[in-house]
Amino acid sequence: MSFDWNRFNNEKLKHNKIKHTHCEAIFNDGYLFYKIFEALLRINSLAYIKINTDNLEVYVLNNRKTHLMRVLFRVDSSYFIYNSSLKLTINLEEFVKLLKCNKNDKNITSLYFKKDEIQIKLESKVYKSLILRNFKKVDFFIENEDILDKLINLTYVGKFELEKEKFIYLITQLERFSKSICLDLSNTAIIFKENNHISNGEIKWNIEELTLLNNNSDIEKVKSYFSINNIIILKHFLFGTSPKLKFFINSKIPIKIKIKFPSLGNSYGLFFLAQRESVNY
């Protein structure tokens, strides 16, 4: 019986591939994947990536440390192969260029995290093409991880959902003249108050108009203060998201907003927004 060299070589290639690849991840909606990273670039050109056993974690902190976006890419296990953990820093400006595609291309984007590079594969369902690119600007130093751990473990007393259309409407109204906003949550209403040196106003929703995520009947009042310039960045993450945003608030700790990306499996984003000092409203 002759030796099966083809089988031997295939097994050898498979072994080497596993040995030198920390993780393989496939995203069926390559356009949304690209748009998320394009939105992250608006926060900072530096992104931190962690490869976990069942997900790809990316977070970006702005230079002033007033807001942070954490995206957890979690797809079906058949599209995510974990071999070993990895933490790295990448230049988003260059990385986004390699991911760039059009919606009509209907791209499937695959990432292969190697020892010193990220291999990118773009497959177009429309043009039947295959694009291969290597991203070599990676650094294995990661910082601000302690900030993220503290944020994730915070507890909140006020929780509610806001439809995506209402959020866009809210931002459009709030950004007209007030830089500092007060979010006032009670057991009867949710009010966004605006104020500057010549005028003030408010946008109000009664409790029955929104979906509460917990029982707020025992909450007399919770106030959070934030800058409109920081929260406005969320508009760029709403493409391809689920129809609602989840707000988590408590006095004197960062506001948390959760958005889901259903076309990328169970992927979601957590946006943390630092509070401003209270002002008179």
Number of neighbours of residue 92 by Cβ within 10 angstroms: 21
- Per the domain annotation, does 12 fall within a domain? no
- Per the domain annotation, does 234 fall within a domain? yes
Q: Do 99 and 196 lie in a common domain?
A: no
Q: Do 77 and 173 lie in a common domain?
A: no
Q: Do 27 and 139 lie in a common domain?
A: yes
Give residue-wise pLDDT tens across range 230-263: 999 999 999 888 889 999 999 889 999 999 999 9
Q: Do 198 and 87 lie in a common domain?
A: no
- Whether the per-residue pLDDT at 218 is higher than 60: the answer is no
- Per the domain annotation, does 14 fall within a domain? no
Q: Do 115 and 85 lie in a common domain?
A: yes
- Distance from C-alpha of 125 to C-alpha of 136, rounded to nearest angstrom: 27
- Per the domain annotation, does 17 fall within a domain? no
The predicted structure's pLDDT at residue 16: 45
**Amino acid letter, residue 178:** S
In the numeric block, the tokens 């695959």 are attached to: 110
- Per the domain annotation, does 91 fall within a domain? yes
- Per the domain annotation, does 278 fall within a domain? no
In terms of pLDDT, which residue wins out, 272 or 7?
272
Q: Are 271 and 257 in contact (CB under 8 A)?
A: yes
Of the candidates 111, 143, 175, which is a domain's last residue?
143
- Per the domain annotation, does 209 fall within a domain? yes
Give residue-wise pLDDT tens across range 128-147: 999 999 998 788 766 667 78
Of the listed ranges 24-33, 94-103, 269-278, the least confidently predicted one is 269-278
Number of domains in the chain: 2
Domain span at 119: 22-143
Q: Are 163 and 154 in contact (CB under 8 A)?
A: no
Find the CATH number of the domain harbouring 71. Answer: 3.10.150.10
- Per the domain annotation, does 84 fall within a domain? yes
Give the CA dihedral 74, 78, 83, 87, nearest 10 degrees. -20
